[in-house]
Chain A
Amino acid sequence: MPKDSGIGASSKRREDVRFLTGAGNYTDDINVNGQAYVHFLRSDIAHGTINKIDTSAAAAMPGVIKIFTAEDFAAVGGVPCGWQVTDKHGNPMQEPKHPVLAEGKVRYVGEMIAGVVAETAEQARDAAEAIELDIAELPAVVDMKAAVQDGAPKVHDDLPSNLCYDWGFVEENKGAVDEAIANAAHVTTLELVNNRLVANPMEPRVAIGDFARGTGDSTLYTTSQNPHVIRLLMGAFVLGIPEHKLRVIAPDVGGGFGTKIFHYAEEAFVTFAAKAINRAVKWTSSRSEAFISDAHGRDHVTKIDLALDADNNFTAIRTETYANMGAYLSTFAPSVPTWLHGTLMAGNYKTPVIYVNVKAVFTNTVPVDAYRGAGRPEATYQLERLIDKAARELGVDPIALRRQNFVTEFPYETPVAVAYDTGDYNATMDTLEQIADLSGFEARLAESKAKGKLRGLGVNCYIEACGIAPSNLVGQLGARAGLYESATVRVNATGGLVVMTGSHSHGQGHETAFPQVIAEMIGIDESMVEIVHGDTANTPMGMGTYGSRSLAVGGSAMVRATEKIINKTKKIAAHLLEAAEADIELKDGQFSVAGTDKSVAWGDVTLAAYVPHNYPLEDIEPGLEETAFYDPSNFTYPAGAYACEVEVDPDTGKVTIERFSAADDFGNVVNPMIVSGQVHGGIAQGVGQALLEGVVYDENGQLLSASYMDYAMPRADDLPFYAVDHSNGTPCTHNPLGVKGCGEAGAIGSPPAVVNAVVDALQRNGSNVTHIDMPLSPSRVWDAMNS
């Protein structure tokens, strides 16, 4: 029986009322009195030496207030990197300075050279065009393998090479892995590319810097997934503003997908410039600018080997990946191909030994960082494509091969340093077989054949590590931040609650789902709980939203704070009811004395806390407000099985998705409708990666896919209706809600299903194609069919 409120109810998303009626408050909706506008002059050259920047003519243009170049930022720091990876020799990664404005050289198309601040945005743009630049173009490096060859042009002259790090994981296992592969009954090898993507949130980035001369306080309004992180990074590392003099506000944010996690130079610029000119400074990215300034995602080139014994048991996995960092290290870039990727290489399978090598490379391209899934999609894609290829080589059923090698006993220590707490991979596969109607595939295959279409079925599993993350563990791995979450629960006198959270909602529905948890705990109506987020001035220090962590970590902090509230209200209730605290029960918003008919309502207790006339003042303080910080003891491990059926048009290579099914184990689910929505959106992005999206640079570092004319985003008619199921999760064992996180799953689990299905369709038609690199555009599929 579906519930109609509290945990498990598909409560309607309350925030959608304002989003759908145009009443949202996005950063670009904010205008500060007297604000000026900045236009950034960006490099249209991928690599070059700046000989001269002449701003004299531009400075004389109408409305120009001040033009900033690197000289103006000489006294401030570079944009910091938040994660230090140690290479396989024990040395720290190469970490070049990332200046706010280009210093001496430009290193990618889109890098900011100057910021023109003027009375209007158009005047700023006009003046930017009048800046005279003398840049001596240098040869660019775009291809990662070419970039690490001897003699390759260096992105950073002061570094030994373009290699950021050469990471081995687990380095001590390398010999055992090589030996297992050498002695294997069968080895399957696959080389593949995980295509570079642009996140493309609906709302482009915006930043407004403001400075109050009277108090010396700076404020940054920005499109961020984690305002406290921006405050810490920008205040401490770039501008030298202590946190108590810097407020960061991230109001309604129209999608993040990872690319709004990072601290960007534009944010530091507007904050710095506002103080310099004593006026607010606003920047709104155009969509064209977003393509060349938002951190890109993915971009791995990988070779992977799977060793199997004579009984088709997996015996070893070895993978070598080149990971593109772009021209500078974005905030979490080094962690993505290493700790968020290598630790997931066991997948859902019990493979005894695994070795992961990752070479991170600087190129003359936009910085690359986390994008929905971040490292885990790359791990899943290569592993699940590889298993599919192995099954075909061995002539065994791909599902059976997977089932045979599933981890079935929990907790399970993988050979790549993580411990899965719980899961049931056979159960999700059973569910998938049912909701995908795999038994009906042959009939559908025949129908497609009758239409002249090639039908294929692709199945895969995935596992991810979410609920990021235990702070002491990530500290050992190089994180320069903790990854706890916080919540302050404030109960008002009349019983309503305001919950201030460090999590940030930019599409996830926190304002609906979080109250469901708290209302359930107290037994009150969800409408009595309001969520406040996105402002460092009125929320406790929190780490923000990414890595499917908000409910697992932020929700857990909320539970802990609410437990403190409940404990205190029970004391008050015991006093009011003249009973022992141990006998007080809270149910449906009523405190009662066990075994009696004596009770007092939630609202009477909360009122007593603020009007403490009859109150145990000698034992407890008045008021009802509690804060909790929650630091998880482990990651959570959502997992699932996905199936995709495609039709391929043999005449054109065009792939259409006919069916898509997803069986997920997210642990407990608070709002099934929101969870389904997250899966739907994730699959749309995963299908986008598999069939449509892909960044293309030419050999000179010019971005060819620089607009929607050439960068294909998934549209509604590219996608089928989905069958999704997440009804039988195995609860996480180590957080109070038993939840695992659902935000990234769809984007992680879906690309291999699509590619597996297309390869299946071609092979059923007699083709010997074993792999096609994403995106599987019609021309690529046709080329593969006809090669």
Chain B
Amino acid sequence: MNDSHSAMFKLQGLQVRFGAVRALKGISLHVNQGEVVALLGANGAGKSTTLRTISGLSRPSAGNIFFAGQSITTFPSTKIVRLGIAHSPEGRRLFGGLTVAENLRLGSCSRSDTDGIAADTERMFSLFPILRERRPQLAGTLSGGEQQQLALARALMAAPKLLLLDEPSLGVAPLLVKHIFEALAELKRQGMTMLLVEQNMKLALKLADRAYVLRTGSIALHGSSAELLSDDRVAQAYLGAAQ
């Protein structure tokens, strides 16, 4: 579990600044092939910034990002997606004026294997059957839960080797949250590697193998999900200022 040398994905001393604010103060973590790793912490701890930096939307002021044996720290987003890192962002960020089918099509825009894309589209429809019904509908008219399923499916259409998930339960009705996490568990069984940011700690630790707890831009805790579930300090980390 601590064998970070052979890890598929690795952050090394990652620092991100927004002006004078140090959003990430040098975090290191790794994700092994086939593993689901959760990134926990209070609002503003730097979870989304971490994912956005991995995807190339923010640039680190120091540190390195390694994926599949190479440094991708300075790569543009397009290239990062092509290498196999897909990102389902916080707030879903669907293209609301485009149809469900068009959103899925753009999810696969980094690929050129027509047969594989068609097969994956079918896979998405069996993973999220509601999307098949909603195919010609504008994404902006879907319910929160449906949108979240589409956001997941859109990211999966890139056929990623590593899936970055930012708050997949946010703004989703409880019943659908259960459904979405069942779909994520199914993806895990199929061997998908995931880095998951999630405010619902119990839900996240149930799915994840390991977790890191971020507190104001640094990693405060790290351990297996089983250890962290019974560790009071995890809950405390969420209280932020009370520390």
State yes or no: do A and B come from one complex.
no
